[in-house]
Amino acid sequence: MSRVRVWDLPVRAFHWLIVVIVPAQYWTARQEMMDFHILLGQVALGLILFRIIWGLIGSSTARFAGFVRGPGAILAHLRGRREAAIGHSPIGALSVVALLVLLLVQVGLGLFATDEDGLYSGPLSHLVSFETAETLAERHEQVFYVLLGLIGLHVAAILYYLVVKRDNLVAPMITGDRAGNGVEAMAAAPAWRFLVAAATAAGLTWAIVTLL
**Stretch 71-99: mean pLDDT, rounded?**
80
Comparing 197 with 80, the larger pLDDT belongs to 197
C-alpha 75/C-alpha 63 separation (Å) is: 21
- Domain carrying residue 110: 3-210
Q: Which residues are within 8 A (CB) of 22 and not within 5 positions of it... i.e. 6 or more apart? A: 147, 151
Cα angle vertex 133, ends 129, 137, to 5°?
Answer: 170
C-alpha 86/C-alpha 84 separation (Å) is: 7
Total structural domains within the chain = 1
Task: Quick: pLDDT tens for 130-141.
Answer: 999 999 999 999
**Stretch 9-14: mean pLDDT, rounded?**
98
C-alpha 162/C-alpha 203 separation (Å) is: 39
C-alpha 190/C-alpha 193 separation (Å) is: 6
pTM of the model: 0.94
The DSSP secondary-structure symbol of 124 reads T
Residue 79 has pLDDT above 70, yes or no: yes
Length of the chain equals: 212
Residue 18 has pLDDT above 90, yes or no: yes
Give the CATH number of the domain where residue 130 resides: 1.20.950.20
Comparing 141 with 82, the larger pLDDT belongs to 141
Which residues are paired to 177 by β-bridges?
5
pLDDT in the model for residue 170: 95
**Stretch 59-69: mean pLDDT, rounded?**
91
pLDDT in the model for residue 82: 64
pLDDT in the model for residue 29: 95
Task: Quick: pLDDT tens for 157-200.
Answer: 999 989 998 889 999 999 999 887 667 789 999 999 999 999 99
